[in-house]
Amino acid sequence: MRVIFLTSDESVRGFTSDDGFEIGRMSFDSVFLVIALTFVGAFLGGGYGVLRMFLKGPLWAMCGAMAVMVGAAGGAVVVNSDGIDFRLLEPLWLAVIMFVALPALWGATVPLVTDQILGIKVLFPQRLTGVDAKPFGIVGSLLGWGVVLALTVLGVIDLFGDIDRLS
């Protein structure tokens, strides 16, 4: 946020963002946001743990798919053409990239952490220790990958719709 603030016009300083934060000022609310998003991230990591039971494939595919899906869906949630945030912050492309990159980075790393927590061997995913990552077979895997694809497509459509309205 600080990079976007510094590249934006000085007139945005002091405005209240769509989320109720004063643009350009660090406060207790900023710290609370970081703490709250940590808990949201942990909860969503648990959701990935459930989804992981359905997904088959190498770890690199999981990381890539989650990065694209979470980047698209997270970006679609954050980038909003109705509020003032993305109308005032400049340049628009930088703001959009940064607000898509942050959830995408989380999405790329959560499979690594979750597989370690679940006890799945990262180097040899076909060898499992105490966790059966394929309990639902090929139909379950197709269903899991279908969910990932659907969320990705919906996120991309919403995200590009908002970008188009902002441009």
Domain range list for the chain: 59-166
Q: What's the alpha-carbon Rg for the chain, to the nearest Å?
A: 18
Asked if pLDDT for residue 131 goes beyond 50, the answer is no
Question: Which residues, in sequence order, are bridge partners of residue 4?
Answer: none
Query: CA dihedral defined by 61, 68, 41, 46, rounded to 10 degrees?
Result: -40
Collapsed DSSP state (helix, strand, coil) of residue 43: helix
- In the chain, what percentage of residues exceed pLDDT 90? 23
pLDDT band at 2 (very low <50, low <70, confident <90, very high): low
pTM of the model: 0.75
Asked if pLDDT for residue 74 goes beyond 50, the answer is yes
More confident: 116 or 152: 152
pLDDT band at 157 (very low <50, low <70, confident <90, very high): very high
Asked which of 10-14, 41-45, 79-83, 108-112 is least confident by mean pLDDT, the reply is: 10-14
pLDDT band at 70 (very low <50, low <70, confident <90, very high): very high
Encode pLDDT of 95-110 as tens digits. 888 889 999 999 999 9
User: Nearest 5°: phi and psi at 43?
Assistant: -65, -45
The rounded distance, in Å, linking the Cα atoms of 78 and 18 is: 10
Burial of 21 (0-12, 13-18, 19+ CB in 10 A): middle
Tokens coding 33: 């946001």
Asked if pLDDT for residue 120 goes beyond 80, the answer is no
CB 33 within 8 A of CB 114: no
The rounded distance, in Å, linking the Cα atoms of 165 and 128 is: 47
